[in-house]
Structure 1
Amino acid sequence: MARRKPRDEDAPPTLRDRLAYGILATLLAGLLLLPYRSRVRLGGWLSARVGSPLFRIPALIRQNLTRSLPDLSEHEIGRLVHEVSDNTGRTMVELASGRDFLAQAAKARVTGAGLDAVLAAHAAGRPVILVSGHFGSYDVPRAHLASRGIQVGGIYQPPLNPLIHDRYRRLISVFGSPVFPRGRRGTGGLVKHLKSGGMAGMLVDWHLKQGAELRFFGRPALTALSAAELALKYDCLVVPVYGLRREDGLSFDLVVEDPIPHTTPEAMTQALNDSLEAMVRRHPGQWFWGQRRWKSDDQRLAREAAG
């Protein structure tokens, strides 16, 4: 499927935008009529049985699993394709559930050794960057800290559809604010937030064309250095955090690891990649394998295969 070209941020919504938003809004409205537990489970089922196959995501999940975890059996790959798709759907419904999800995240069991350092930095007015990936339910850290009275801002990838963008921004603002879109405009706001001693959440596992070529699962993966660069420039504490879904599929562990020592942007970001990789290896069904994390390397392999 051809990717839509980026457009001006201020461009009005097109007919296609309005139709897509109408379908999405209707689906979410129906799901939100259900009790929280039922809607999250149904969101996972719909993603695994309908949404993921419709957009041909299982093939990409299989490709990424095969190249990154080559010892998996065909049975294990099939099981993980289902788990990944189910987790993705659950996460999307959770993000749309606002206060219901906030209440669920508030009950997360905190594990790891890093929470005391985060709270101490916040109390001292030192900026903090919480770094995660598309793993588990990735807004659990912000939502849990919001329940403790700590606002954690965020930087996010804006949807191309401006109507969906506006709604998405409102939804994630429930879990912490302010929130900033990726890009020059958002980065400026994020810098001001950090300079004032604020706390922000970022995801490290986007493919970034202008990123540094680091390693993830032993493969080259273009990765943004921005979290580490901001940390070095503004003396931010950098802490890997994860919203780990528990076996019941509804509750969570909030994993807060030790802060990343300040060294160089490349070394710090590789440490973040390594932290995420270790978490994914322990819980492979909870990472969003249906993304093009290794896009440049996949293109290289395709060229080599073509001769």
Structure 2
Amino acid sequence: MASANKKRRVTILQRIEYSVIRSILAMIHAMPYRLRIRAMGRVMQHVIAPVAGYSKRVRENLELVAPEIPADKRKEMVGRTANNIGRTLAELFSPNEFAPLARTVELTGPGVAAIDAARDAGQPVIFVSGHFGNYDVIRSALIARGLDVGGLYRRMNNPLFHEYYLNNISTIGTPLFQRGRQGLGQMLRHLKKGGSLAALIDVRAGNGEPLRFFGHRAWTAVSMAEMAVKYNALLVPCFAVRQADGISFEAIIEAPIPVGTPSEMTQAYNDILENHVRENMEQWFWFHRRWKDVPHREAAE
């Protein structure tokens, strides 16, 4: 217990970090919602991403997996990627305005009838998405459609910011399950009673498997597919695509992935995600270290 308390102790640096973040968000929140979203997009594109090194990482990832794109187009995509990330952050930290809008987004795609049938039959559904567009649009729209969707989240390193973050994403929808042993138990009980789960599985997972993504090996977690097989849940890819106005979204529910081995099912998800990213390259969060090689034994990040 003493060890756990020590881990939660707030350092001076964390207090400073939290104060800076809250100050920036306070200035952004003084603006009307639509202006706020545009402003945060520009701040991320022209200030935060270049200074923090995100722009460099996006450029390197694009050079690795899409070398056929001309240099001038890649440079443009780097800026647009950062802009989408900034807009997404502003939306997530504006839940009182964002959540009502997200709940009105119509679900489209070949999987809508399947998830409605699962809802009516009490069959669990595991929705798998990625850091693309704004992923929480889907969760909000599914909850509004009557599905009991729990979200999976990772604890932030800064305890002060974590509480602020958790309060904001809770406004968008609950229940929420923290990655870890306790959260896993809660999540499994939720699935067993017919609830559904929304998870992002497009980041590097050293304890996953080296599946293909954009023609390169990318360590990918197969745990969602494993749970889908074990608990007779549908595994359904879903994506929220930001529209040309920068504010509205199209929410796409893909057909459930056919049951197979967890590796086969997760590879199918990777392929579907790649297709969506290729159609809207600037909407995926390219700053992740997605293709960095890691030992199989390394814990997922």
Match of 1:110 in 2: 107
Is 1:31–2:28 an aligned residue pair? yes
The correspondence for 2:89, drawn from 92, 96, 101, is: 92
Identity of aligned residues (%): 43
Distance 1:144 1:99 in 2: 15
1:95 maps to amino acid = L
Shift of 1:109: 3.7
2:124/2:232 contact within 8 Å kept: yes
Distance 1:8 1:65 in 2: 40
The correspondence for 1:50, drawn from 47, 52, 59, is: 47
The correspondence for 2:177, drawn from 180, 191, 196, is: 180
Shift of 1:157: 2.1
State which drifts further: 94-103 or 142-151: 142-151
Q: Which ranges in structure 2 are unaligned for 5 or more consecutive residues?
A: 295-301
1:58/1:290 contact within 8 Å kept: yes
Is 1:273–2:270 an aligned residue pair? yes
Could you report, residue by residue, the CA deviation over 1:153-177 in whole angstroms, capped at 9, with x for unpaired residues?
A: 1111221111111121121112221
The correspondence for 1:235, drawn from 232, 236, 254, is: 232
SS at match of 2:235: strand
Distance 1:69 1:129 in 2: 30
Shift of 1:68: 0.7
SS at match of 1:143: helix
Q: Summarize the Cα distance change of 1:266–1:64 in structure 2 as closer, same or farther, 3 Å threshold.
A: same
Distance 1:240 1:86 in 2: 24
Shift of 1:33: 2.0
Shift of 1:8: 5.0
The correspondence for 2:168, drawn from 158, 171, 183, is: 171
Shift of 1:201: 0.4
The correspondence for 1:131, drawn from 122, 128, 149, is: 128
State which drifts further: 181-190 or 63-72: 181-190
SS at match of 1:159: coil
1:18/1:163 contact within 8 Å kept: yes
Could you report, residue by residue, the CA deviation over 1:44-98 in whole angstroms, capped at 9, with x for unpaired residues?
A: 0000011101101111101101111111001110110011000000000100111
Distance 2:100 2:34 in 1: 12
Q: 5 Å matches for 1:292-303?
A: 292-296=289-293
Match of 1:291 in 2: 288
Distance 1:293 1:41 in 2: 27
How many residue pairs match? The answer is 291
Is 1:247–2:244 an aligned residue pair? yes
Could you report, residue by residue, the CA deviation over 1:78-126 in whole angstroms, capped at 9, with x for unpaired residues?
A: 1100110000000001001112111221232432111121121012111
Match of 1:196 in 2: 193
* Moved segments of 4+, more than 4 Å: 7-10
Distance 1:84 1:151 in 2: 31
Q: Which ranges in structure 1 are unaligned for 5 or more consecutive residues?
A: 1-6, 298-307
SS at match of 1:34: coil
SS at match of 1:296: coil
Distance 2:85 2:9 in 1: 29
Match of 1:217 in 2: 214
TM superposition score normalised by structure 1: 0.91
1:151/1:176 contact within 8 Å kept: no
SS at match of 2:202: coil
